[in-house]
């Protein structure tokens, strides 16, 4: 009996949740994220809920990225759509404003199903059209290279953040630093409208942007693991989606300037 209790304690100590089958044997509870505790001090019940939230967020995020890939490719490769974007700068400006408009109802109705998914779909499509317009005038091999680099960076940073969280590390201190850096990036982009940067400066700007959004991927992933509430899966997926999209565009800018 004591050995059994000792075994249960040791399994909990190392972050594994075990249950008994009909024969009394211990099995890992797969519903608790393959039995892995996300970070120290998390209870078994909370661990299950957290893994459920994480799975839901990444399913939504994967759907967003697939939709973005399809819409962007169609926009860049379909000649009539490409010509429409080139000939109508006002339409492109409208597409640039639409995501900002949709952010408000997305925040207000993020808990209302299926309204939240409909707004999220419109938000994703509007950004996908802009990404397609950005890729239209860039060589396909550069776009593919940017896509591969972005995928590698996102997977690496996500894996690192989950590993670091399990070791007890916290990245909440990045919040003020990243927010300040983002404001500087936005102001710089507005200045570029009136005072365009040279190719070297643009590449440097893209490199700094990429570093900032790498930080945001770590910060928002850590936020997902520890702080997002269980009904904020839409907001969490939007945050990660914007991080990945901006990282891709930043890398694309650096590679295109290098090619030029």
pTM over 0.85: no
Upper half-sphere CA count for residue 92 (Cβ side, 13 Å): 16
pLDDT in tens, 17-37: 444 444 544 444 444 445 578
Question: What backbone phi and psi angles, to 5 degrees, belong to 27?
Answer: -130, 155
Which residues face 27 on adjacent strands?
A: 19
The predicted structure's pLDDT at residue 171: 92
The predicted structure's pLDDT at residue 90: 74
Q: Could you tell me how many residues make up the chain?
A: 260
The predicted structure's pLDDT at residue 41: 81
Question: What backbone phi and psi angles, to 5 degrees, belong to 15?
Answer: 85, 25
Using alpha carbons, select from 126, 124, 106, 125 the residue that is nearest to residue 116. 106
The predicted structure's pLDDT at residue 223: 93
pLDDT in tens, 114-143: 888 999 999 999 999 888 888 877 888 888
User: 212 versus 16: which is more confidently predicted?
Assistant: 212
d(CA 174, CA 187): 20
pLDDT in tens, 243-252: 999 999 999 9
**H helix runs in the chain, sequence order:** 2-13, 44-77, 79-87, 89-108, 115-136, 140-166, 174-194, 199-226, 233-259
pLDDT in tens, 167-214: 989 899 999 999 999 999 889 888 877 777 777 777 788 889 999 999
| CA separation, residue 253 to residues 28, 65, 108, 129, 210 (Å) | 46, 19, 33, 17, 10
d(CA 158, CA 223): 12
The predicted structure's pLDDT at residue 6: 43
d(CA 55, CA 33): 9
The predicted structure's pLDDT at residue 108: 87
Overall average pLDDT of the 73-91 stretch: 76
- Angle subtended at Cα 71 by Cα 69 and Cα 72, rounded to the nearest 5 degrees: 65
User: What single DSSP character describes residue 246?
Assistant: H
The predicted structure's pLDDT at residue 31: 43
Domain spans of the chain, in order of start: 2-32, 44-259
Overall average pLDDT of the 44-73 stretch: 92
Mean pLDDT of the chain: 82
Overall average pLDDT of the 152-176 stretch: 93
Upper half-sphere CA count for residue 130 (Cβ side, 13 Å): 20
% of the chain exceeding 70 in pLDDT: 84
d(CA 254, CA 233): 32
The predicted structure's pLDDT at residue 259: 61
């Amino acid at each position: 009996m004591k050995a059994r209790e000792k075994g249960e304690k040791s399994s909990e100590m190392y972050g594994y949740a075990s249950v008994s089958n009909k024969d009394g044997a211990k099995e890992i509870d797969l519903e608790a994220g393959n039995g892995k505790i996300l970070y120290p001090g998390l209870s078994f019940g909370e661990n299950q809920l957290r893994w459920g939230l994480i799975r839901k967020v990444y399913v939504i995020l994967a759907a967003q990225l697939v939709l973005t890939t399809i819409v962007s490719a169609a926009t860049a490769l379909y000649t009539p759509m490409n010509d429409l974007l080139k000939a109508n700068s006002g339409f492109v400006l409208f597409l640039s404003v639409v995501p900002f408009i949709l952010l408000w109802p997305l925040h207000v109705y993020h808990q209302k199903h299926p309204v939240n998914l409909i707004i999220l779909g419109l938000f994703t499509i509007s950004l996908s059209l802009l990404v397609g317009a950005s890729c239209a005038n860039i060589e396909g091999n550069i776009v593919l290279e940017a896509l591969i680099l972005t995928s590698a960076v996102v997977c690496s940073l996500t894996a690192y953040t989950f590993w670091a969280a399990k070791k007890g590390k916290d990245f909440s201190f990045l919040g003020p630093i990243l927010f300040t850096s983002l404001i500087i990036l936005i102001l710089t982009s507005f200045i570029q409208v009136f005072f365009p940067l040279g190719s070297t400066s643009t590449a440097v700007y893209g490199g700094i942007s990429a570093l900032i959004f790498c930080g945001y991927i770590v910060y928002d992933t850590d936020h997902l693991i520890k702080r997002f509430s269980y009904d904020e899966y839409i907001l969490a997926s939007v945050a990660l989606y914007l991080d990945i999209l901006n990282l891709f565009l930043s890398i694309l800018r650096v590679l295109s300037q290098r090619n030029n």
